[in-house]
Amino acid sequence: MSDIHAQKILVLDFGSQTTQLIARRVREARVYCEIHPCTMPLTEIKAYAPRGIILSGGPASVYADDAPSVDAGIFDFGVPVLGICYGMQIITHLMGGVVAPGAKREYGPAKLSLQETVGPFRESDPVELLQVWMSHGDRIEEMPAGFAALAQTDNSPVAAMGDTSRRIYGVQFHPEVAHTPQGAAMLAAFVLGECGCNPIWTMHNFAEATIADFQKCLAGEKVICALSGGVDSSVVAVLLHKAIGENLTSIFVDNGVLRAGEVSEVAGLFRDVFGLNLVVVDAADTFLERLQGVTDPEEKRRIIGHTFIEVFEAEAKKIGQVQYLAQGTLYPDVIESVSFKGPSAVIKSHHNVGGLPEQMKLQLVEPLRELFKDECREVGRELGLPESIVSRQPFPGPGLAIRIMGEVTRARLKTLREADAIVQEEMRAEELYTKVWQSFAVLVPVKTVGVMGDERTYEDVAALRIVDSVDAMTADWTRVPYAVLAKISSRIINEVQGINRVVLDISSKPPSTIEWE
């Protein structure tokens, strides 16, 4: 795209669970990088022109029949290579060394003593014993010719190795994980010092470069964007607005299942403060009519998804001559391959406004395709978006409809909105809102008996769902202090008509999910 991508690192993936973390650490060192499968052909690697290559870990053993490998041509390519765990073993195997099963598996923390401060260790303190995280069965028995041991642990005589003349390095431990406290600095030393990249991948530069690119390639074009008020679509809308101004039309659909105050907040901010060309479509009646009598979760999702596309298409037609649709797709959705076995089959089906481009024959504009979520947030801050948007918790497309068990009615929506607003208020007041992944209320229309004053009540139950997560793939319920839970519960029961009992969801994902439907 532009200069900020000129100096880049290629991360070749051998199927490790922590490959994405390697890319994150490289980006944190302000160097651009991409993850590709280890099967990437050498010609493509050359064409990609990386300043350095990092080989990830992986679950296999280099001697297994279907062990993933890489074209050994990368070693003659003249750029530094760093192999991590399996990556180090594959270097050894391909270059004529010997990898063998260790006497015992080494898993967990280990103390690393350094012999040479070169490669990833060029900034490390030679006398300090470094804490590192190990997770391997095989180990290096014999290094390939030209290599010297750079570090050792009690269990691994060759915990790191290097051939300084060819600038090829291997580490047996995982520098990318938080359990290796100096790991980020080691990866930074490799990409900045050894590979000679400049730290130019900043979100300030990214925003500037993206805006400049769009000014060129989208000049005179009409673009539409579905704005949800979530951080991703907000960042997309503001980036494009800065690039093409009035030629961007952002469409915000009130589907009737949004949270309290959301429509006025989003409209006020983006139209009045940011000056966006914003169309707010009040389609609540259509959505709610179609949801009448529907209790099946998948059916709710289907109806909302289809209706959204219909409403959105109708608005786009009114604008006319639109050729582009802007979407907030992020890098984790793009990474084709989490394993060397090829593109992963499932890319989240509920992502954004899936289905639109095919039906409308629109080309996609996805300015955030290269970014991780926290990078997207940083861009948002660069663009002057308020913290209330930038640090927003995820909110599902089908909205409150999948947080009301059973039928979605206006009355139930009102009840849930009020309860949910209290959860948000209290989480923010306690400064917990941004520390957790999501915190919300669920309406369980099961009536239970209560007593208020001298009156017997017979009302619905609200459940609190508050979870910690890093990527929504797994999650655990947050151990929120009792005092906070007590306050939320008492406020909901006292202030929200129709709820006389609050319960706490203490299920992890898996086997439960974050949302209830």
How many residues are there in the chain?
517
Question: Taking CB under 6 A as the rule, does residue 468 contact ligand XMP?
Answer: no
Q: Rounded to whole angstroms, how far apart are CA atoms 27 and 491?
A: 43
Site for ligand XMP in 298-327 (CB under 6 A): 301
Question: Taking CB under 6 A as the rule, does residue 515 contact ligand XMP?
Answer: yes
Q: What is the CA radius of gyration of the chain?
A: 26
* Strand partners for 142: 98
**Continuous segment of H or E residues that includes residue 344:** none
User: DSSP secondary structure string, 438-484?
Assistant: EEEEEEEEEEEEEEETTEEEEEEEEEEEEEE-SSSSSBEE----HHH
Our CB check for ligand XMP shows the closer of 260 and 353 to be 353
- The single residue among 60, 236, 311, 514 that binds ligand XMP, judged by CB under 6 A, is 514
Question: Taking CB under 6 A as the rule, does residue 297 contact ligand XMP?
Answer: no
> Two tokens at 62?
């280099």
- The single residue among 472, 484, 485, 504 that binds ligand XMP, judged by CB under 6 A, is 472
Three-state SS for 158-218 is CCEEEECCCCEEEECCCCCCCCCCCHHHHHHHHHHHHCCCCCCCCHHHHHHHHHHHHHHHC
Q: State yes or no: is 195 an active-site residue.
A: no
- The single residue among 46, 318, 350, 479 that binds ligand XMP, judged by CB under 6 A, is 350
Q: State yes or no: is 176 an active-site residue.
A: yes
Report, in Å, the least distance between residue 443 CB and ligand XMP: 16
C-beta of residue 239 within 8 angstroms of C-beta of residue 367:
yes
Task: Build a one-symbol-per-residue string for 368-407: x at contacts with ligand XMP by CB under 6 A, - elsewhere.
Answer: --------------------------x-xxx---------
Our CB check for ligand XMP shows the closer of 77 and 395 to be 395
Site for ligand XMP in 232-271 (CB under 6 A): none
The residue count for binding ligand XMP (CB under 6 A) is: 12
C-beta of residue 155 within 8 angstroms of C-beta of residue 172:
no
Q: State yes or no: is 179 an active-site residue.
A: no
Q: Rounded to whole angstroms, how far apart are CA atoms 495 and 418?
A: 8
Report, in Å, the least distance between residue 436 CB and ligand XMP: 11
Q: Rounded to whole angstroms, how far apart are CA atoms 34 and 331?
A: 9
Q: Of 34, 106, 176, 418, which residue is the catalytic one? A: 176
Q: Of 85, 195, 225, 376, which residue is the catalytic one? A: 85
C-beta of residue 357 within 8 angstroms of C-beta of residue 363:
yes
Task: Tell me 475's DSSP state.
Answer: B
Question: Taking CB under 6 A as the rule, does residue 355 contact ligand XMP?
Answer: no
Site for ligand XMP in 482-511 (CB under 6 A): 509
Task: Build a one-symbol-per-residue string for 52-71: x at contacts with ligand XMP by CB under 6 A, - elsewhere.
Answer: --------------------
> Which amino acid, residue 106?
E
Q: Of 106, 174, 376, 426, which residue is the catalytic one? A: 174
Return the active site residues: 85, 174, 176
